[in-house]
Structure 1
Amino acid sequence: MAEAHSAVAFSFTVTHEGWDVNFDREVLNLVWQSGIRSWKKRLARFQNSVHNGVYPGHLWSLWVLMSVVIGVHFSGRQVPYDLVAKVMPYMRGQNLTWQIVACGLISLAVWLAVIFTLRYILKLLLMYKGWMYEARGRGRSVSMPTKLWLVFVKIFSGWNTPRLYSFQGSLPRLPLPSLNDTMTRYLRSVRPLLDDENYERMVRLAAEFEEGIGVKLQRYLWLKSWWSTNYVSDWWEEYVYLRGRSPLMINSNFYGIDAILMHPTKIQAARAASAINSCLNYRRLVERQELEPILIQGLVPLCSWQYERIFNTVRTPGIETDKIQHWSDANHIIVYHKGRYFKVLIYRGRILKPCEIQIQIQQILDDKSEPLPGEEKLAALTAINRVDWAKARQNFFSKGINKLSLDIIEKAAFIVALDDVPYEYDESDPSKLDQYGRVLLHGKGYDRWFDKSFTLCIGSNGRLGFNSEHSWGDAAVMSHLWELVVTDDAFYSNRADAAVVGHLGEYMILDDIDQRYDEEGNCTGTPELTPPPPVRLQWEIKFDSQIAIDNAVIEAQKLIDDVDLRIYVHNHYGKGFVKLCRLSPDAYIQMALQLAYYRDAGKFSLTYEASMTRLFREGRTETVRPCTVESSAWVKSMDNKNCSVEERVKLLRIACERHQVGYQDAMCGKGIDRHLFCLYVVSKYLEVDSPFLKEVLSEPWRLSTSQTPHGQTGRMNLDKHPNCISAGGGFGPVADDGYGVSYIVAGEDLFFFHISHKKSSKQTDCHRFAINIERALADMKRLFEEYKLLNGTK
């Protein structure tokens, strides 16, 4: 067998005739190449560390400064403050060499002082967030303070091109809101959800907390905010994700879907090879830090620390808490096909080309071997509650061949699942797209390794998707990768042969582009080498472990049977119409969701919208609360026959503006929920009870929403290629009697909504909710059309 052959790459024996040495040249060459690659990566990381450590300065400026100081000193003039003369008495001699050393030390000290001053000034500048609140496109110009701020940020951001982590040292800490501000915002957010009696009760609880134990909790949290890089992120990762004992499938993991409006190839092996190659190229950009950081308006950087864990990462189960494990490198991926696991090497002196990877994938598809006993449904263990999986992992996968195979899976760059069903989209049959989403959300319950950072899924007809674990990072980071994968299949440069092109490795769309596939749908190009053949993983699944797997399959199937998903494609209009209404597309959609939910449930509900806090170092997310006093007033006006069109439009504009302020507050560190969450954690550490915090943290999010971002790579031109955009992605419902809604603003005339609910709930129905969303969006368009007719505008 191949695995047995590779296990004896080198051996020797002693006989009566002398030494007998046996070695496998191919395997030793792989070892040699692996070592060379490892040292290259270490050197690249060291160079990147130096570059990032001195940014926004540059190392060449040190050599220039040294040359100037040495020139001035030996010309007979004094260096300012006569620093060289003051240092010379501490040298071992006064000769030429020691004078040069003294000049070098003075240059280094001055250079470092300037560099750190620049970094600190840039950090102070990035603390200013007033620019976010200044209206754009409303007839108002940017204020003079913001104009000056823009100029200074441009100056102090440096002239050399930033790398992925260049701005990390200059990003400010997440600010801690005052207790009074958070209480005020919280009470305002719950006002439309409570009647007068319950609202007054909540006001009393908030006042008692603010004047009592809240003062002590805030004091401890203030110390943490100054001591730690980010006072939220570590606790958020630990207590919200890693200590959660619920299954990852449906409850935590999210999925992403292909660009369904295009279908570049129907050959499964070719599409898989192309996507794998794109992921590996992206990984190289991240590892070399050649991926440019995302800059808002091309100027304000977002934190990039989450990118490190996209690849070579797994969440391992524990009895009380899980652990995120990340490896610096991996030269293989794992491919799952028809119940079998294959280790596939993807590096042979370089990243394998798509046409070479296609050979490996096709070998797997052509392999007719049967799964080993227990192998086919093994991954169901990753789909169940974390305690049971942790116990099974310890009992059955902690030694022998099972441990070896499990290590290979967990240390892989990522997982690839070659499904035996097609991923279909038919505009005339919405159920096919719904099934597409369900396959990506949970699959069969045992054909996704839910612990891995992500599983790349390929349908039998060549369409793509992914399932991603959530604890290592947020959807925006995974969307960045996915955007590159999707656009790679639409654009392909002959000159670069799918390699990195453009400034500092940023992928670019070139004029002379060809399709990535030939006329038959296979990957273009000619293999330059024979790719390493896939190797089957081996397992010894005994009776007890088989029982654990069977039980996991039953538990996973119960979860799958209880969830339903509807992907609604709204193609009646898109953000083009919304812009004509002079409203934010996100605020517009959130108001539509509020109207749809009110009509669906007959009441308002606590609503969650995810917003990022990556303007700050190690920032992740914050909650925007779209259900506000203003939004509820507008929603009620829509079904009030006595309310005029002008009044409804006025209320909608006010509601959207209020939502925008709430979104901006969340991005700027003025959110409500992360602050309250951290106060609750402190209270648990101090073993004190707070009725206010207990009630706040127990409130269910019956409407949980999120917008899928796009346009992060700078290569997606929807004017030229309107079909080249992912249909977004989704997640399961957060509350048992609630909805999970993800949406993407996909161009000028298209919205996608991914709506999930639990079938066990009698109050929710994702198909009914999709109809209510369609009706709400139609009513909002009709409202503005009537308003324009009344005012005589086009």
Structure 2
Amino acid sequence: MLKLSFPSVARGWAQLPAASTSKVLAVTCSRKLSTDDGYIHRSLVPTEHYQKSLPRLPIPKLEDTCSRYLAALEPILTTSEYKDSEKIVNEFLNGQGKELQAHLVAADKQNKNSSFIHQPWTEVYQMDRRPVVLNHNPFLGFVDDPDPTQNTQLNRTTNLILSSLRFYRTYRAGLLEPDIYHMNPAKSDSDRFKKLIRYVPKSLSWYGAYLAKAFPLDMRQYPYLFQSTRVPKRGKDENRRYPDSKHIVVIHKGHFYSIDALDSNGDMLDGGVIKSSLAQILEDPREVNFNSIGYFTSMNRDSWADIRDELESLNPELIHKIDSSMFVLCLDEYDVAKRAPGTEISVADAIPLIKNGLHGEAYNRWFDKCFNMIVTKNGKGSIHFEHSWGDGVSVLRYFNEIYKDSIAKHHVGPTEGGSAVKLDPELSPNLIQALENARGDFEKVKNSFVLDVMKFEGFGKNDLRKLKVSPDSICQLSFQMANWRFKREFVGSYESCSTAAFKYGRTETIRPCTKETKACSIAFDKENPAQLDEMSELLSACSKKHNKLTKEAAMGAGFDRHLFALKFLNNKLNGAPLPIFEDPNHAKLNYIILSTSTLVSPALEVGGFAAVVPDGLGIGYAMFDDWFGTQASYYPPGNDGSEFIKELTGVCEDLKTVLNGKSFKEPRQV
């Protein structure tokens, strides 16, 4: 099974406690249409029990940030370029940087209910004028239901919706298990601990968990997971929430519909009612609507903002219906990666599946929504989500929970009583022309986007851990080595790391291109490899350095977000440019050629994101027990992912050879 990538943080999930039978019966008796108690589980500890006592995201010391910044610059610059930047950084450290740091610390003390990065990082998404599709929005693709009979479009969609509603209601009721990373699950992930910690005051609960080597994670992004949308505005978008909405908007063949999901009391409608509504939509005989307003959400944000004003003036109820929906369901009228039940997905099949999840057909998407649930004609399900409202932690939790719930609780009741309301827009001649232009632009971008995939079975996590090297460090090293062999350069590189262990934490950057990976890449050069002992030592050094960078990032001790916050603050205070941010080497470091991210989940079959610059690579990857999977997205002729993947395969063979205590003398054929 080919399982690939997505931005995430390593985490442990708690065993879900069994529901209280008496409580379930009481809830069931009070409901008219529910087939179960309407929750995925009932946590012994309230969902937000730890939120009040979470530690605040620390502001690093300015001297530490400057030192880490220079360390990241060194491997991608010449000696003279580095000296130029070093001088600029030292002047910043001893001058304007001190003043900005004092302002940042003071502002942070006045804003104790947030973090120093929350507002700036949200705004960087909201102010980006590029289309959200491919530039920002990632996706996750579900593993099929183990029961082949449930993988029809109607059955799969019904089960995923019902599980989504159970998840939503569980969170809203405060019964969702809190997000926690367990260092010692035997101690902290137990009913005994949970029964004790729930009585610890909220203001102290984090400390109680910490004593048990458990680290609660921030859950403040969860309210935006459902019932929210991104609204285009000139210069800067905004995020809106509609916490009382009870319907889902469905798109099929480019036509829009609304179906009820919750009743007036917020209880789930019966599965048969929802399934009946979906069946009506799937049976609608209308042809594909290639003039779908979904294309508008693929536009440049300022252009879309202008168009939306006119669209909304003609269709206020329709636009409100879409904006306020719990989420958007996209029922695709075509098959993707169709194969015999129970067989593993091939590398060739993974590519169209990933492309459909990342961009699909814009006539059947609403890219601004908190998330699009996508189900193809042959029952392949995925979640495509808008990124400005939050990061992958909450989406991954939702994704994992509804997969587990959906395969355990199949709807097997009758199909009856549903009702789907058609939402047909009114379009002016100006809107029709704008729509045609948007469709043309989207098709150009879609057709220029390319993916290549690698599955390497020469080693996996088990092998690397036995050799006492970090699996993630070997993945990241392999990308640096492959790019060096392909391009003969070291470039701006990015790996995502969550800082959800802190109040209003977002993400931090791990910089995988280091002095150590540079030295190792050169030592492993095919034309003139170093001696075996030297290569082995360099591998160990790369592993240690990567572990150190990962730990620093996760603990809020990276440099990227700190520098970004200082730049953001400087722009707010006076707007005068500072040499450190005008330095061309600063731009070089932040021009991300290699954008990387990883995720492994038993619910995930594929996932991904696009390259973030025209000549870059979007590298999604996952290391499993006995194999290593990678995908590379790119836009020719800016880059060539197929050549990168060829080089990467050769690199992995060479790494395998050296890790097994052997040397290679001849250049490898790639």
TM-score by structure 1 length? 0.70
Structure 2 equivalent of residue 579 of structure 1: 465
> Which range moves more in the overlay, 260-269 or 767-776?
260-269
Matched residue, 2:401 = 484
Partner of residue 419, structure 1:
332
1:282 aligns with 2:167: yes
* Rounded Cα–Cα distance in structure 2 between residues aligned with 1:678 and 1:178: 13
Matched, 1:698 2:587: yes
On the 8 A contact 1:562/1:760 being kept in 2, the answer is: no
| 1:630 partner amino acid | E
Shift in Å, 1:231:
0.4
Q: Which residue in 2 is equivalent to 1:752? A: 629
* Contact 1:312/1:328 (8 A) holds in 2: yes
Offset from partner CA, 1:39-83 (integer Å, 9 cap, x none): xxxxx9xxxxxxxxxxxxxxxxxxxxxxxxxxxxxxxxxxxxxxx
Alpha-carbon distance in 2 for matches of 1:768, 1:358:
46
Answer whether contact 1:729 1:754 (CA < 8 A) is retained.
no
Structure 1 residue 744 displacement after superposition: 2.6
Write out per-residue CA displacement over residues 145-173 of structure 1, whole angstroms, 9 at most, x where no aligned residue: xxxxxxxxxxxxxxx94322211111111
1:666 matched to 2:550? The reply is: no
- Unaligned segments of structure 2, at least 5 residues: 1-29, 32-37, 183-187, 189-213, 665-670
Alignment of 1:306-385 (within 5 A): 306-348=221-263, 350-370=267-287, 376-385=291-300
Are the equivalent residues in 2 in contact too, given 1:442–1:560 (CA < 8 A)? yes
Distance 1:778 1:477, change over 3 A: farther
Verify the 8 A CA contact 1:334 1:415 in the aligned structure 2. Answer: yes
Find the structure with the greater CA-based Rg.
1
Task: Quote the Cα distance in structure 2 between the aligned partners of 1:326 and 1:428.
Answer: 37
**Fraction of identical pairs, as percent:** 28
Give the alignment partner of residue 392 of structure 1, picking from 307, 311, 333: 307
Q: 3-state SS of the aligned residue for 2:569? A: helix
Instruction: Say whether residues 1:293 and 2:210 are aligned partners.
Output: no
CA shift, 1:570, in A, is 3.5
Residue equivalent to 1:467: 384
Match of 1:742 in 2: 620
Which amino acid in the other structure matches residue 232 of structure 1? I
Instruction: Decide whether the 8 Å contact of 1:175 with 1:669 is kept in 2.
Output: yes
Structure 1 residues 667 and 383: CA distance shift in structure 2, 3 A: same
| 1:222 Cα deviation after fit | 1.2
Q: Is the counterpart of residue 197 in structure 1 residue 80 in structure 2?
A: yes
Which of 512, 526, 540 in structure 2 is aligned with 1:653? 540
SS at match of 1:659: helix
Supply the distance in 2 between the matched residues of 1:163 and 1:768 (Cα, whole angstroms): 51
Measured in 2, the distance between the counterparts of 1:571 and 1:392 equals 50
Alignment of 1:514-525 (within 5 A): 516=410, 523=411, 525=412
Q: Kindly provide the amino acid, as one letter, of the partner of residue 614 in structure 2.
A: D
* Matching residue of 2:368: 451
Task: Tell me the equivalent position of 1:182.
Answer: 65
Query: Structure 1 residues 479-488 or 448-457, which shifts more?
Result: 479-488
* Residue deviations 1:288-346 (CA, integer Å, cap 9, x gap): 22111222224111111111110001000001110000121321101111121110111
Q: Is the 8 A contact 1:360 1:533 kept in 2?
A: yes
Taking structure 1 as reference, are residues 536 and 750 closer, same or farther at Cα in structure 2, changes over 3 Å only? farther
Residue 753 of structure 1, CA deviation: 2.1
Note the C-alpha offset of 1:382.
0.4
2:113 corresponds to 1:227:
no
Distance 2:626 2:269 in 1: 39
Shift of 1:549: 0.9
User: In structure 2, how many angstroms separate the alpha carbons of the residues matched to 1:351 and 1:774?
Assistant: 49
C-alpha distance in 2 between matches for 1:301 and 1:621:
16
**Separation in 2, partners of 1:667, 1:406:** 39
Q: 1:567 to 1:606 in 2, by over 3 A?
A: same
1:571, distance to aligned residue in structure 2 (A): 4.0
Residue 515 of structure 2, aligned match among 622, 625, 629: 629
Secondary structure at the residue paired with 1:623?
strand
- Per-residue deviation at 1:651? 0.9
Corresponding position of 2:199: none
| Over 4 Å off, 4+ runs | 260-263, 353-356, 425-429
- Quote the Cα distance in structure 1 between the aligned partners of 2:616 and 2:593: 4
Deviation, structure 1 residue 787 = 5.2
State how far apart, in whole Å, the 2-side matches of 1:248 and 1:263 are. 35
Distance 1:591 1:262, change over 3 A: farther
Whether the aligned pair in 2 keeps the contact of 1:708 and 1:728 (CA below 8 Å) is no
Unaligned runs of 5+ in 1: 1-35, 38-43, 45-159, 493-497, 499-515, 517-522, 711-723, 790-794
The aligned counterpart of 1:541 is 427
Does the C-alpha gap of structure 1 residues 765 and 263 become closer, same or farther in structure 2, counting only changes over 3 Å?
Answer: farther
Q: Partner of 1:605 in structure 2?
A: 491
Partner of 1:139: none
Is the CA contact 1:340–1:375 (under 8 Å) kept in the aligned structure 2? no
Say if 1:336 and 1:418, in contact at 8 Å, map to a contact too. yes
Residue 340 of structure 1 contacts residue 370 of structure 1 at CA under 8 Å; is this kept in 2? Answer: no
Contact 2:62/2:93 (8 A) holds in 1: yes
Task: Write the distance in 1 (CA, Å) between the matches of 2:143 and 2:627.
Answer: 13
Residue aligned with 1:565, SS? strand
Tell me, yes or no, if the aligned pair for 1:476 and 1:709 is still in contact at 8 Å: no
Partner Cα separation in structure 2 for residue 697 and residue 475 of structure 1: 27
The answer on whether the counterparts of 1:728 and 1:752 sit within 8 Å (CA) in structure 2 is no
SS at match of 1:609: strand
Between the aligned partners of 1:672 and 1:416, the Cα distance in structure 2 is 39
Map 1:95-106 onto structure 2 (within 5 A). Answer: none
1:698 aligned partner, one-letter code:
A
Could you tell me how far apart the structure 2 residues matched to 1:286 and 1:376 are? Answer: 37
Contact preservation (8 Å) 1:424, 1:436: yes
Separation (CA, whole Å) in 1 of partners of 2:275 and 2:629:
32
Partners of 1:324 and 1:654 in 2: CA distance: 44
Partner of 1:20: none
Aligned-partner residue type, residue 328 of structure 1: P
State the superposition RMSD in angstroms: 2.4
CA distance in 1: counterparts of 2:629 and 2:635, whole angstroms: 20
Residues 328 and 453 (structure 1), Cα distance of their counterparts in 2 relative to 1, 3 Å cut: same
Task: Return the offset for 1:230.
Answer: 0.2
Contact map agreement 2:456 2:629 (CA 8 A) in 1: yes
CA apart distance, 1:178 = 1.4
Give the counterpart letter for 1:210 in structure 2.
L
**Residues 338-365 of structure 1, C-alpha deviations (whole Å, 9 max, x = no match):** 1211101112463235454332222211
| TM-score relative to the length of structure 2 | 0.82
Larger displacement relative to structure 2 (575-584 or 732-741): 575-584
Q: Give, in whole Å, the separation in 1 of the partners of 2:489 and 2:450.
A: 22
The whole-number CA distance in structure 2 between the counterparts of 1:355 and 1:782 is: 57
Could you tell me how far 1:263 is from its partner in structure 2?
7.2
